[in-house]
Amino acid sequence: MSLRTADEYRAGLVDGRRLHYQGQPVPDINAVPDLRVAVDHAAIDFDLARDPGHRDLAVAVDPDTGEEYNAGYRIPRSAEDVMARSHLIEAGTAAGGTVVTLIHEIGTDGLFALLRVLEGEGREKAEAYYRHCRDGDLALAVAQTDVKGDRSKPPHQQADPDLYVRVVDRSDEGIVVRGAKCHTTSSANGDEIIVFPTRAMGPDDADYAVSFAVPANTEGLSLYVSGYGGGGHDAFDHPVSSKHKLLETLTVFDDVFVPWERVFLCQEPEKAGALALTFVEYHRFTAVSYKLPLVDAFVGAAAQIAEMNGVMKAGHIRDKLTQLVAYAETVRALTEAAALRSRIGEHGIAYPDPTTTNMAKYTFASGFYKAVEWLQDIAGGLLVTGPSGADWDSPEIRPILEKYYAGASPAPERLAMMNLISDLTARDLGGYHAVLAVHAEGSLEAEKLQMLRSYTANHAPRAIAYARKLAALD
Amino acid sequence: MSLRTADEYRAGLVDGRRLHYQGQPVPDINAVPDLRVAVDHAAIDFDLARDPGHRDLAVAVDPDTGEEYNAGYRIPRSAEDVMARSHLIEAGTAAGGTVVTLIHEIGTDGLFALLRVLEGEGREKAEAYYRHCRDGDLALAVAQTDVKGDRSKPPHQQADPDLYVRVVDRSDEGIVVRGAKCHTTSSANGDEIIVFPTRAMGPDDADYAVSFAVPANTEGLSLYVSGYGGGGHDAFDHPVSSKHKLLETLTVFDDVFVPWERVFLCQEPEKAGALALTFVEYHRFTAVSYKLPLVDAFVGAAAQIAEMNGVMKAGHIRDKLTQLVAYAETVRALTEAAALRSRIGEHGIAYPDPTTTNMAKYTFASGFYKAVEWLQDIAGGLLVTGPSGADWDSPEIRPILEKYYAGASPAPERLAMMNLISDLTARDLGGYHAVLAVHAEGSLEAEKLQMLRSYTANHAPRAIAYARKLAALD
Amino acid sequence: MSLRTADEYRAGLVDGRRLHYQGQPVPDINAVPDLRVAVDHAAIDFDLARDPGHRDLAVAVDPDTGEEYNAGYRIPRSAEDVMARSHLIEAGTAAGGTVVTLIHEIGTDGLFALLRVLEGEGREKAEAYYRHCRDGDLALAVAQTDVKGDRSKPPHQQADPDLYVRVVDRSDEGIVVRGAKCHTTSSANGDEIIVFPTRAMGPDDADYAVSFAVPANTEGLSLYVSGYGGGGHDAFDHPVSSKHKLLETLTVFDDVFVPWERVFLCQEPEKAGALALTFVEYHRFTAVSYKLPLVDAFVGAAAQIAEMNGVMKAGHIRDKLTQLVAYAETVRALTEAAALRSRIGEHGIAYPDPTTTNMAKYTFASGFYKAVEWLQDIAGGLLVTGPSGADWDSPEIRPILEKYYAGASPAPERLAMMNLISDLTARDLGGYHAVLAVHAEGSLEAEKLQMLRSYTANHAPRAIAYARKLAALD
Amino acid sequence: MSLRTADEYRAGLVDGRRLHYQGQPVPDINAVPDLRVAVDHAAIDFDLARDPGHRDLAVAVDPDTGEEYNAGYRIPRSAEDVMARSHLIEAGTAAGGTVVTLIHEIGTDGLFALLRVLEGEGREKAEAYYRHCRDGDLALAVAQTDVKGDRSKPPHQQADPDLYVRVVDRSDEGIVVRGAKCHTTSSANGDEIIVFPTRAMGPDDADYAVSFAVPANTEGLSLYVSGYGGGGHDAFDHPVSSKHKLLETLTVFDDVFVPWERVFLCQEPEKAGALALTFVEYHRFTAVSYKLPLVDAFVGAAAQIAEMNGVMKAGHIRDKLTQLVAYAETVRALTEAAALRSRIGEHGIAYPDPTTTNMAKYTFASGFYKAVEWLQDIAGGLLVTGPSGADWDSPEIRPILEKYYAGASPAPERLAMMNLISDLTARDLGGYHAVLAVHAEGSLEAEKLQMLRSYTANHAPRAIAYARKLAALD
């Protein structure tokens, strides 16, 4: 086992992978400024494990060998473990400036799903792979969402059969896969990519029921990084996004060979749904855990800018601030409750309560835009009409700005807080946070579906029995 | 100590109190059908303590003497105690058909506040009074809300000085009070009435800063029971309100003498606010605990009527049901979280976390009407166009109703569930539940005020520090 | 032609119809107090036509003969006619204390639909029937909603084939129908009942595609009046519902014979949908027109009770009042816009713009409960804890009430306004208004469906063309 | 009079004004690419008047002289004029890709206010100035919002007296003003700047009650253009913002001399409120008129992307689309109603109904973020993970993108529509639109305040009288 350094992680990414950005091939991810921001951001995960203030959260110890490994890899066995994982994710994201670092957690969400759902040989391979990743302190990405084509049709009815990743050949050595995944986070700067089916599959879609793992530099695998959110941001007016960033790729498998030891599911459609869903159950809990710094930042920034603008005593400002608090703290309380109500699943692996997890995620997602509105309402129009970093750096202009942008606090403080809010809500990072709220880790509809499903299984009998008793039935 | 029987409780109410209902004096509350419903409803509290299935929740044992007393009187010392109290309130209310029984809990909310806020002699009197009530297993009411007159003015500026209860005389023996409280629940069928100031008082309102307790039959005290919700309901179309009911009174103090041993606060305006607020903190937690059966009934009834109408597969029905689940379960999770996050206050007495309690109450109250809408939407117009109990009892008409009101379930089941929903949401009981949601135990605005206040004191520093760090301030 | 007097109307209802109420047959509707309230309420329509202040709105003149008839029967030929109809409905409902009188309008909504959709012989019969009703100044009911049984199944798949009204026999003289309609408003106190199919029908449901009209006293027709909202209300605490009421019946057709001249549609499933929809288009416009007095009453009562409570200067009160205004006035503006944008349909008959009508209705319905919440929030808990009429009438008790229920206004004014709000929102009438908001004239979902459908047909091309231009497509 | 060409307009901007951008002085606005985008965008106003398809809307004719002038300058005399002005603004904004062009309208909103509110000499000066601007076809900006400092304090109590623009000297020739305005739109690319007080002023703030006009190149006036939204956007992934843009400045008056003929209000605090409010009344109507293309684009893009993704048949997609339609069309209907209900003000100048205008604006603003959420929900996560223009332009990469981003429509169409939605909602332009929704032309609170004020004056008596009648008062 090992705890890699951030520099070991950075160096490991220069491995011959086929990476593309802004229309160009990228031989060294660390050499392209926009991408380097994301690598440095992800490196926080490694730094955290070496930071004395975070070691308790970020480093786990193998009880048998006494060896240390990144706590993101710790398999949860109890509610306490699930809660500790939540705290680790929250701490990493807080260090990441509201942008999740994710480099261990999303992958382990997937590994835990493999370990719970698979049996027999599949599970043995998953265990071996888990040890490989944990012991090498590898950075993981999960590629789940297929490009999907026409969404009204299942995989096998698409005009182009490659619109979901599929098995095109199998031999004694392994399988060959083709197709593309999209929205793949941290693949460009991850060591390994774990592939999951995007949803339940019917018998006609057997070739699409496939799960496996490959290193990022595997032959035939190409990664096309989205240009969204790039562009050399100034630290003055982009205080967060100039330092913190995720990369998403279109992840293309052009007849990629995967040896059997890394194939977890192959042409077994009946297990695709369970695998997809179990991953998502963990992943939504990861999601609500990593949303907590963001909602805290909203509340804190709202309280600060209200003071700085001198409007804290206005009734409507206090009302909006209170509703923002209620929103943020409800997400937090539900996340905590999801951990405290953890259940023990297959093979003794714990998982957060699905009803509560989905409630937390749905509360976050469905209330997000209202929260943005409250925050922007409190802050003011200066969010989109303020000075640039170049203005601020100009010795002629800065005195003007200092004079005229003073509020109840001096201009430097007020503009810094205003720019934070602008970056989080009204620029590319704001758009990214918002679209993530609606779509990442499952849409609002997916959350509702799962909430009703797990409530019906676990809690509805109590409510129904009570209603029937009141109606004098039974 | 004692655990009284329900009949002992009923008999104790015939004590010469000055009770009025529907324009008439009431010598015996048990003899008036509308009022008897409420007495029988409150008696559930006494029955519960004798029910083997509820003894663990409902009966407490004095560790010194080994004597038993009603668990509503147990002074909470830990988060576990607070949680147990919540479960007791929930169980009592569930037995009360969604209508809280309250006969011990509202009073002990008040007693705990007295025990925490008062010091010295005042506290000794409160302790003696607490033992008196607990040992006699007395039914308690709390009279807090004054009639208030013109709300834009403080007590001493009202045209009529009696619009808040006030001290009009004091002597060596005690004090004389005059004025009226309104919305007083369970005073008509309680043994004791504890009076609290309605809010913080300034020096000019010193005469209004008064807290004391009197038996319900005290000389000069008159109780005018509201006529709302009365009227001989049929059990067919009013399955809950025909059996369960609270009584509210206009509670008039016409120069009532109170001996010093029952005076807890007299003309000390600086303590009025703390007393009012501490009571409300407990009482709002009581409130969210007693709302749980109601929100469960909503979810259960919605799920049942959807099945019975044959519409469970419609997308919009499932969507509404899911949102109803999210609402109900968020209230439940926040109530649980408020208990788990309990704090230890003065004199080692525990209390639920105020921020979380107010979040729970606000979530319940602000979402209540949307929940009603979803439930009624799923149920259908039959809620207000259905047959009466007399129709149902007619041997000529019932076959017609059975034929034509069958859905995916037989008519008797469907009509029973429909009538439950109608009673809970579209008749007087529905109006009562709704107005309670908005106003009881503090208005929406009061909840928001308290939420912001306690958040600011306890949690805001974390969020503000984080926002400042992100903005590169500090 | 004629304009009947209210007394002629009342007398006409004693015609041998088979009416049942509270389990009993009712030989004379005017003799049963609960029912008499509804008859007197409906009679407002007849009084209005004789009231000089309303003649312009309420009386129409035949251009050919110069004879007068009730303006509810005027066939709209222009936007102005549609607007005038809206004003007439609003005026009638205002006189009816927020409860629509409807006795001409719902029927003519149906007649206009017949006149627009039918061709040839069917249309001739509809025209003859229209003249019969208009010239006799008859009170009309429309029976559309079937009891429906298991809603997941079409009519012909129901366990009992009678759960939608159907043709069971046909001969040279006419047809025989069997089944039941529910929620039929004003049938108990109407002269004629016009039957519409409840929805589009497929070929297998041909027997259910039937539309006809019968007098209320037709052989085999039985009317079972709902008991909801009955019960001898006191005018003090039920200021509206003690005087204004609608009656709904379960309307049972037990092998009722209908002569061909009154059969408008028989076993022609392909026309059922158009007939159902065209009726609903008119009827939803009637609905939004009759909602205007209700939303006005909400705003007016909120403004009054805020003054009377002395809270008008509180920021949150003003905020809620403003949002109530925005709600009420948006419903009004959309209703006006629906009339102004009227279209000319088949045979030159005008109809309000369907997209806008459905927007108005949806805005009303989806916002209704929030409006109730604001109003109740402003009013206070006294809505459900106030004194009864008997208390008020007691010479001993009234002085107490006058003293203690004074606010910024004297108690009689404040209690009167409080009781109005309680009657409109927190008692049976409140439940009735609320369930009507959600379900009457089509559910929320039906309104959304129709809104999208008519928008797509009429307006979407503009928006789509614009989006494509912006995206540089086309 | 004249109708200038777009090139005449462009040339006129190079006039020696003190313009700054990105920390640098800008001698020629047309030479800086980011700024040039805004100039070209504003030039649409001039092109429109020469476009045969828009002449009817965009060109007015002086009835006395027969000369033509830009119709933005037409003084409204009737509801028809107000409606025509709305259509002109809508057409200009549609041509401007959802970004208002504004170069005539915001200024004339101000001019109409001056013409209505002022009397005597002030009005004569305003008329002369109006003719000067109209006859020269000048581009106008209005500088109203002061930088404001600590908002809890009025102007004269600010630590720095310059935080609201004020008169620092007056002489026979004119006045000298100092201070700064922020959020000034189109000042960098306008010919004239009209200054309005930001709000009502008390006697102590007399020096701040000032209104005047100056050319943009006036001595002592400096314009600091915000850097927000700049940066060389690619037309592929920024289809709108690469071509359309507004400029906002911090507008600094450093002892600027204004001759009396251009001073409309000087040290008359009692008129400041009326002037501020009357301008805002017009300007909010301009606002709702220019929002119509944006809400149309939302609906059209949602309908298109739903088709292109192949999800149009999903119930929840249709539900969101319907609610988006209801939102967009309610804004449109209320805007229309505001025009149709226009009132005739001082000097026969018409103005849109204030209650309805504020309802329209509030409906737009308070619903905006929900609309964004629906649109993004329908579109998908690709909004923030899609390819860049450089990827699209790469001959190696484009085939990959074409293959994998095909939906139910080919990839080029789907990506074009996706990028439109991303630009409008999830990038800088999206943030700009959103913050404008909340803050521009007055905040949500300002709209509510004005709505209640004008409702109370004009409509409340009807509602109050009705409520009192129902309560049997009066």
Count of A-C CB contacts under 8 Å: 6
User: The dihedral of CA D33, D38, D39, D43: what is its sign?
Assistant: positive
Q: Which residue has the tokens 């969020």?
A: B463
User: The dihedral of CA A346, A348, A353, A358: what is its sign?
Assistant: negative
- Closest B-chain CA to A94: B466
Q: pLDDT by residue (tens digit) across A149-183?
A: 999 999 999 999 999 999 999 999 999 999 999 99
Question: Do residue D297 and residue C470 have CB atoms under 8 angstroms apart?
Answer: yes
* Mean pLDDT, residues A137-152: 97
Count of A-B CB contacts under 8 Å: 172
CA of D401, closest CA in chain C: separation in Å? 18
Q: pLDDT by residue (tens digit) across D111-157?
A: 999 999 999 999 999 999 999 999 999 999 999 999 999 999 999 99
Q: Which residue has the tokens 């001993």?
A: C396
The percent of residues in chain C predicted with pLDDT above 70, rounded, is 100
CA of B228, closest CA in chain C: separation in Å? 6
Beta strand A140-143 pairing with A18-21: unpaired
Whether the Cβ atoms of residue D437 and residue D365 lie closer than 8 Å to each other: yes
Count of B-C CB contacts under 8 Å: 256
Please tell me whether residue B220 adopts helix, strand or coil conformation.
coil
pLDDT at residue B442, as a whole number = 87
Q: pLDDT by residue (tens digit) across B289-309?
A: 999 999 999 999 999 999 999
Q: pLDDT by residue (tens digit) across C239-280?
A: 999 999 999 999 999 999 999 999 999 999 999 999 999 999
**Banded pLDDT at B103 (limits 50, 70, 90):** confident
Of A98, A322, A333, the CB nearest to B452: A322
ipTM over 0.90: yes
User: In chain C, which residues have their Cβ closer than 8 Å to the Cβ of B236?
Assistant: none
As a whole number of angstroms, the distance between CA A456 and CA D24 comes to 63
pLDDT at residue A225, as a whole number = 98
The angle at the Cα of B13, spanning B9 to B17, to the nearest 5 degrees, equals 160
CA of A430, closest CA in chain B: separation in Å? 15
**Is residue C1 over pLDDT 70?**
no
| CATH architecture observed for domain A6-269 | Beta Barrel (2.40)
Does residue B452 sit at the A interface (CB-CB below 8 Å)? yes
**Is residue A226 over pLDDT 90?**
yes
Beta strand A18-21 pairing with A221-225: parallel
As a whole number of angstroms, the distance between CA A85 and CA A87 comes to 5
As a whole number of angstroms, the distance between CA A154 and CA A164 comes to 9
Q: What is the pTM of this model?
A: 0.96
Report the first-to-last Cα separation within chain A, whole angstroms: 60
- Closest D-chain CA to C306: D464
Q: What value does the CA radius of gyration of chain C take, rounded to a whole number of Å? A: 23
**Is residue C378 over pLDDT 80?**
yes
Q: What is the mean pLDDT of chain C?
A: 96
Domain positions in chain B: 6-268, 271-465
User: In chain D, which residues have their Cβ closer than 8 Å to the Cβ of B316?
Assistant: 315, 319
Q: Which fold has domain C271-464?
A: Butyryl-CoA Dehydrogenase, subunit A; domain 3 (1.20.140)
User: In chain C, which residues have their Cβ closer than 8 Å to the Cβ of A316?
Assistant: 315, 319
Please tell me whether residue D304 adopts helix, strand or coil conformation.
helix
Q: Which residue has the higher pLDDT, C2 or A356?
A: A356
As a whole number of angstroms, the distance between CA D16 and CA D363 comes to 42
Query: Residue A170: in which H helix or E strand, if any?
Result: strand A166-170
CA of A432, closest CA in chain B: separation in Å? 17
Would the CATH topology of B6-268 be identical to that of B271-465?
A: no
Whether the Cβ atoms of residue C90 and residue C150 lie closer than 8 Å to each other: no
User: In chain C, which residues have their Cβ closer than 8 Å to the Cβ of A315?
Assistant: 315-316
Bridge partners of residue C221, in order along the sequence: C253
Does residue D471 sit at the C interface (CB-CB below 8 Å)? yes
The percent of residues in chain D predicted with pLDDT above 70, rounded, is 100
Q: What is the mean pLDDT of chain A?
A: 96
Question: Do residue B310 and residue C152 have CB atoms under 8 angstroms apart?
Answer: yes
Neighbours of A380 (CB within 10 A): 26
Candidates C316, C321, C323, partner chain A, best to mutate (most A CBs within 10 A):
C316
**Is residue C105 over pLDDT 90?**
no
Please give the CATH superfamily to which domain D6-270 belongs: Butyryl-CoA Dehydrogenase, subunit A, domain 2 (2.40.110.10)
Structural tokens at position C6: 């209210």
User: The dihedral of CA A409, A415, A416, A420: what is its sign?
Assistant: positive
Does residue B377 sit at the D interface (CB-CB below 8 Å)? no
CA of B182, closest CA in chain C: separation in Å? 8
Whether the Cβ atoms of residue A405 and residue D339 lie closer than 8 Å to each other: no
* Mean pLDDT, residues D56-73: 94
**Which chain A residues in 8-67 lie under 8 Å from chain D, judged by CB atoms?**
20, 22-24
Q: pLDDT by residue (tens digit) across A388-399?
A: 999 999 999 999
> Maximum Cα–Cα distance for chain C, whole Å?
82
Question: Could you tell me which chains touch chain C, where touching means 3 or more CB pairs under 8 A?
Answer: A, B, D
User: In chain A, which residues have their Cβ closer than 8 Å to the Cβ of C319?
Assistant: 316, 319
pLDDT at residue C102, as a whole number = 73
Whether the Cβ atoms of residue C249 and residue C184 lie closer than 8 Å to each other: yes
Question: Do residue B149 and residue C406 have CB atoms under 8 angstroms apart?
Answer: yes
**Is residue B474 over pLDDT 90?**
no
Would you tell me which CATH number, out of the four given (3.40.50.920, 2.170.190.11, 3.30.200.20, 1.20.140.10), belongs to the domain B271-465?
1.20.140.10
**Is residue B432 over pLDDT 90?**
yes
Whether the Cβ atoms of residue A20 and residue D391 lie closer than 8 Å to each other: yes
User: In chain A, which residues have their Cβ closer than 8 Å to the Cβ of D369?
Assistant: 369-370, 372-373
Question: Could you tell me which chains touch chain B, where touching means 3 or more CB pairs under 8 A?
Answer: A, C, D
- Residue in D296, D310, D315 with CA at minimum distance from that of residue C459: D296
Neighbours of D117 (CB within 10 A): 24
- Exposure class string for B371-385: b at 16+ Cβ within 10 A, else e: bbbbbbbbbbbbbbb
C376 Cβ contact list (under 8 Å, min separation 6): B434, B435, B438, B439, C383, C421, C425, C426
**Banded pLDDT at C281 (limits 50, 70, 90):** very high
Count of B-D CB contacts under 8 Å: 6
**Banded pLDDT at A1 (limits 50, 70, 90):** low
Question: Do residue A252 and residue D400 have CB atoms under 8 angstroms apart?
Answer: yes
As a whole number of angstroms, the distance between CA C295 and CA C272 comes to 34
The packing angle between helices A354-379 and A428-439, to 10°, is 150
Strand ranges (DSSP E) for D136-269? 140-143, 166-170, 174-185, 192-195, 210-215, 221-225, 248-259, 263-266
pLDDT at residue C474, as a whole number = 83
Strand ranges (DSSP E) for B104-247? 140-143, 166-170, 174-185, 192-195, 210-215, 221-225
Question: Do residue B329 and residue A355 have CB atoms under 8 angstroms apart?
Answer: yes
**Is residue A105 over pLDDT 90?**
no
Question: Do residue B470 and residue A328 have CB atoms under 8 angstroms apart?
Answer: no
pLDDT at residue B1, as a whole number = 66
| CATH architecture observed for domain C6-268 | Beta Barrel (2.40)
User: In chain D, which residues have their Cβ closer than 8 Å to the Cβ of C312?
Assistant: none
* Mean pLDDT, residues C222-248: 95
Of B293, B330, B470, the CB nearest to A330: B330
Does residue A80 sit at the C interface (CB-CB below 8 Å)? no
- Closest B-chain CA to C308: B150
Does residue C316 sit at the A interface (CB-CB below 8 Å)? yes
Question: Do residue C426 and residue B436 have CB atoms under 8 angstroms apart?
Answer: no
Neighbours of B317 (CB within 10 A): 21
Does residue B319 sit at the D interface (CB-CB below 8 Å)? yes
Candidates C362, C466, C470, partner chain D, best to mutate (most D CBs within 10 A):
C470
Of A334, A355, A467, the CB nearest to B297: A467
Does residue C313 sit at the A interface (CB-CB below 8 Å)? no
pLDDT at residue D1, as a whole number = 66
Q: What is the mean pLDDT of chain D?
A: 96
Which range among B432-436, B442-446, C119-123, D310-314 shows the weakest confidence by mean pLDDT? B442-446
Please tell me whether residue B23 adopts helix, strand or coil conformation.
coil
As a whole number of angstroms, the distance between CA A121 and CA A118 comes to 8
Q: What value does the CA radius of gyration of chain D take, rounded to a whole number of Å? A: 23
* Mean pLDDT, residues D26-33: 97
Question: Do residue B460 and residue A240 have CB atoms under 8 angstroms apart?
Answer: no
Q: pLDDT by residue (tens digit) across C313-363?
A: 999 999 999 999 999 999 999 999 999 999 999 999 999 999 999 999 999
pLDDT at residue C232, as a whole number = 77
Q: Which residue has the higher pLDDT, C421 or A64?
A: C421
- Residue in B384, A274, D62, B56 with CA at minimum distance from that of residue C247: B384
- Residue in A62, A57, A30, A43 with CA at minimum distance from that of residue A4: A43
